[in-house]
Chains A and B, each alone.
Chain A
Amino acid sequence: MKLLGERQFRQRYNGARAVIDSKDLRVREHPYLKFERGKKIAMRFDGQQVEAYENETIGVALHASGARIFGRSLKYHRPRGLLCVSGRCSNCMLRVNGVPNVRVCVEPVREGAVIESQNAFPNVTHDAYSLLDRLDFMMPVGFQYRRFIRPKFVSQIFENVVRKMAGRGSIPDEDAILSSTYPALELDRSVDVAVVGGGPAGISAAISAARAGAKVALFDENSHLGGRLLKQTCRYDDAGPYTGLRGFEIANRMVEETKFLPALTPHLGTLAAACYEGRILTVFRENSLQELNPKTLILAPGAYERTMVFENNDLPGILLADGARTLMNFYGVRPGNRAVVASNDGSGQALALELLDAGMYVEAIIESRACPEEAVRESTKSGTKLLSPYVVKSAHGNSKLNAITAVQTDGKGEEIPGTEMHLQCDTLCVSCGTNPAFELVSLAGAKMEYDPRADAFLPARTKGLEVASRVFVVGDVCRTRDLGETILEGCIAGNSAALLLGYGDGELKQATDKMLARRWEN
């Protein structure tokens, strides 16, 4: 991703803007996006009435209603808020209709749902156990099993207490069941091509294979296809056939294309849970787990965002960049009112612009890399400061974020004392790269090897993008360079899978070989 032109940034958001302090976090106006929220729905969170809309998730609706603390950490009962907003972290696990440990950020709303705090007394907002967090001076190495073993009577008391404190939610109620939000899962168990992951790589693989004539099942755990791309509003100058479009536009076009292919069946809300020996894939939707044995398998699971390391980096109000994007660009709910953006990959300005688009005030952009001096100088004239090279030193706030301290670095990572800056904010968005979602890929037989170009452990693939016989791995999990390469890899895998099964002709073979050559050039 490139730095946006500074001029473009200033033209749009020139001069300081007033901080809106609005309780209504739902975005009503947006330069490019329209939000269809559906009809109103009522739920209860710890006895309080919460208003939600049909197309939201429980977590998003709770956030919009002002809730910030969604859980408590296991040991010290530190407050935890929304972080990834993609069902990937353990921050937002609540009890819904008697079912424990439900990740509410991805759980669809239901009329009359009863949502309860767990692992806290009396509730997550006010938790008596959080006292433990204040006692850390007594436990320099932490609160763990090797402590308090002597004398014996202390160990017994301690063990009793600790055993009771274990676990998150309580066992489900006798009759607990989450009502279904999807139709029952109907599968063709011996489908030609199973594609896991409905992001750009997965969709393009599914489309390519289906076009060649193969029967394709496309699995995605989310309620929609498009992956992380669907939440981006910046323009892509590196997206192959879609260059020049905004992220969500590209995603929508690709999803649209899947609809005209009868051989392609998308299975939404369906998690590919595991892959066993012999290419057996287990998929899970709501209350049913099923196995299938596809003739070929294409894995495009994508990547997880990383968190940034600084003091108090778990305070509610600190969000991952794509988590913030999901909230504001997909559900139309602002993460907060006053934001700071911190990045170490030059994507800070793009994200700041998206926050401004959603109607937030952006206090500052903190880039750990050195930006051109001109950009820094220009930024002081606009309302949003660009601090570079700066890093976040610590976050402040009792139970939610209210300020951060940034500090200048010498460009090599060493902090310069005396340059600390205090910035008021209720939201901090951190953007610092991703880790490959390697789990399924490893289960399918891939070895993770160190890749010097990406400086990361990535699945070891053949030149034909295979990790095992008839198992292709494509996209962000292999840290593709740009969106164009992601889509290209998808096409290659889709075509190759179809060709392996005898679909397609010499022409398709030639086209695929050409794409492969392009993929591996330089």
Chain B
Amino acid sequence: MKQKYDVVIIGAGLQGLSVAYNLAKRGLTNVLVLEKGYLGSGASGRDIELIRAIFASPEWISLMKESIRLFRKLSSELNFNIMYAENGHMLLAKTPSQVKLCQEIHSSYGNDSRLIEPQEAKEIIPALNVEGIEGALYQESGATALTYGVLWGYAEAAQRLGVEICPFTEVLGISVVEGRVNSVTTTKGTVRTDTVVDAAGAYSRDIAKMVGVVLPNEPHRIEALVTESLKPFFSCNVVSLDSHVACKQTARGEVLGYAPSKAEAEVTYSTSSTPMFLRATAKAMLEIFPRLRQVKVQRQWGGIIDMTPDRSPTIGPVDEIDGFILNSGWGGYGFMSSPASGSILAEFIVSGKTNTIIESFSLRRFAQGRLVRDRSMIVE
């Protein structure tokens, strides 16, 4: 570690590393990334890698459109195969109100989404149980990628450009002088800096507290499971608006599954698995894929997400402290948004000019009552 950095990023997850890479790409290479554990040791290494743009709010749609645009060229840009594949994303609707929501999303997203009948859904995924399904929304460019591929790709590319990454280094405090960030104290010493990016995931509220900023974010545990590997039998992501189960088959053939369970309500830093989740998810997965009945679950795991009251992130500068920039509150959507958020925040740090996405997701929105509620969000 050097004495002084232009920017110190706290958290080497997808969000932190994306900001680091995007800063370096824009010429700001005197950057330090601090990480308490190993790279991607938080929620980044634990998500189920869904990428979609069919959201219900204009804010999320524009963010995710930008993300997909960046994802498309990320492998060659980072010189790292992130296994990005546009296999499609399907939302299943069971009730008339869910069908109506699909129509709303379709009309506000436009682009390459289309409303499909249950029969067509069955043609796309022959193993799908369409009993009780009223309709579906399908996004051709819904995609998946390898989360660790993206993470390591960003880390390697950033380091090549001169960014310093310090894993196993915990931040102990941040000093503020005359309303501006002055230095960061870590377990490996103190560094001078004017700008700090808080990308600490579920711990971002603890980091913010160090400079006296109170975030409304709460840590919640969400879990996922994966089955033994099977020959590919479906390629697109499937999400049910009814049970909120999300499934996809990985490139290795395992079927990933997530469905909400009671265990999510608790505010906790624990990542241990729960039997409630296993039961809820197995049941919900069997409802859409009854043929998985004899398939074994290989493992389940938990991760902590940083959740805001309206499930939308808190990004950008804060009013109280100069040079303290948030990149937090991503909930379960940090992976799919990381290329866009990193690029937007890096642009802001370099040029100082804010834009509409940063404005709409700012911390200020809670005080001003401008919540971003997106009805397509899986988490209830």
Interface residues, chain A, with chain B CB atoms under 8 Å away:
99-101, 119, 145-146, 149, 152, 155, 159, 162-164, 166-174, 176-178, 274, 276-277, 280, 282, 287, 291
Chain A residue numbers with a CB within 8 Å of B230 are: 100-101, 167-171
Which of A152, A166, A177, A280 sits near B229, CB closer than 8 Å?
A166
Residues of B within 8 A of A173 (CB): 291
Stretch at the interface among B183-191, B196-204, B271-279, B310-318: B271-279
Residue of A178, A276, A277 with highest tally of chain B CB at under 10 A = A276
Q: Which of A145, A169, A172, A276 contacts B146 (CB 8 A)?
A: A145
A146 to B81, CA, bound (A): 6
Nearest-neighbor residue (CB-CB) of B254 within chain A: A167
Residue of B nearest to A170 (CB): B231
B200 to chain A, nearest CB (A): 25
B232 at the interface (CB under 8 A from A): yes
Contacts A168-B231, A170-B231 known; A176 to B294 CB distance under 8 Å?
yes
B296 touches A101 (CB 8 A): yes
| Chain A residue contacts of B127, Cβ below 8 A | 171
Please tell me if the beta carbons of A162 and B228 are within 8 angstroms of each other in the complex: no
- The chain A residue with its CB closest to the CB of B293 is A172
Nearest-neighbour CB distance to chain B for A299, whole angstroms, equals 17
Q: Are A171 and B292 closer than 8 Å at their CB atoms?
A: yes
Do A171 and B83 have beta carbons less than 8 Å apart? no
- Contact partner of A178 (CB less than 8 A), chosen from B231, B270, B278, B294, is B294
Q: Are A276 and B275 in contact (CB under 8 A)?
A: yes
Query: How many angstroms between the C-alpha atoms of A317 and B168 in the bound complex?
Result: 46
Residue in B closest to A149 when the chains form the complex, CB atoms: B81
Residues of A near B232 (CB, < 8 A) are 163-164, 166-167
Are the C-beta atoms of A174 and B231 separated by less than 8 Å? no
Contact of A167 among B146, B253, B275, B294 (CB under 8 A): B253
Indicate if the CB atoms of A159 and B253 lie closer than 8 Å: no
Can you list 8 A-B pairs with a CB-CB distance of less than 8 A?
A100-B295, A101-B295, A155-B81, A159-B85, A164-B232, A166-B231, A167-B229, A176-B291
* Interchain CA distance A163-B229 in the complex, whole Å: 12
Known: A149-B81, A155-B81. A170 touches B233 (CB 8 A): yes
- Residue from the list B252, B272, B291, B292 in contact with A276, Cβ < 8 A: B272
Query: Do A101 and B75 form a contact, CB below 8 Å, given A145-B83, A170-B233?
Result: no
Q: How far is the CB of B330 from chain A (nearest CB, A)?
A: 26
Chain A contacts of B272 at CB under 8 A? 276-277
Chain B residues with CB under 8 A of A280: 275
Contacts of A170 on B, CB cut-off 8 Å? Answer: 230-231, 233
**Residues of the A chain whose Cβ atoms lie less than 8 Å from the Cβ of B101:** none
Instruction: Specify the chain B residue showing the minimal Cβ separation from A173.
Output: B291
Q: List residues 206-243 of chain B with CB under 8 A from any CB of chain A.
A: 228-233, 235
Asked whether B231 lies within 8 Å of A167 as measured between CB atoms, the reply is yes
**For residue B273, which residues in chain A have a CB less than 8 angstroms away from its CB?**
274, 276
A144 to B: closest C-beta gap in Å: 9
Against A, the Cβ 8 Å flags (1 = close, 0 = not) of B239-279 are 00000000000111110000000000000001011110010
B80, CB-defined interface residue at 8 Å: yes
* Among A168, A174, A177, A277, contact of B253 (Cβ-Cβ < 8 Å): A168
Q: Is the CB of A146 within 8 A of B80?
A: yes
What string of 1s and 0s marks CB contacts (under 8 Å) between B58-89 and chain A?
00000000000000000110001101010000
Residue of B nearest to A439 (CB): B299
Nearest chain B CB to A39 CB, angstrom units:
27
Evaluate contact between A171 and B81: CB separation under 8 angstroms.
no
Closest Cβ of chain B to A503, distance in Å, is 28
A277: contacting residue among B229, B231, B274, B292, CB under 8 A: B274
Interface 0/1 of B272-316, CB less than 8 Å to A = 111100100000000000011111100000000000000000000
Chain A residues near B76: list those with CB within 8 A.
152
A167 to B231, CA, bound (A): 4
Cα A119 to Cα B273 with chains together (Å): 32
| Complex: A280 Cα to B272 Cα, angstroms | 13
Contacts of A159 in B (CB 8 A): 83, 85
Q: In the complex the two chains form, is B291's CB within 8 Å of A171's CB?
A: yes
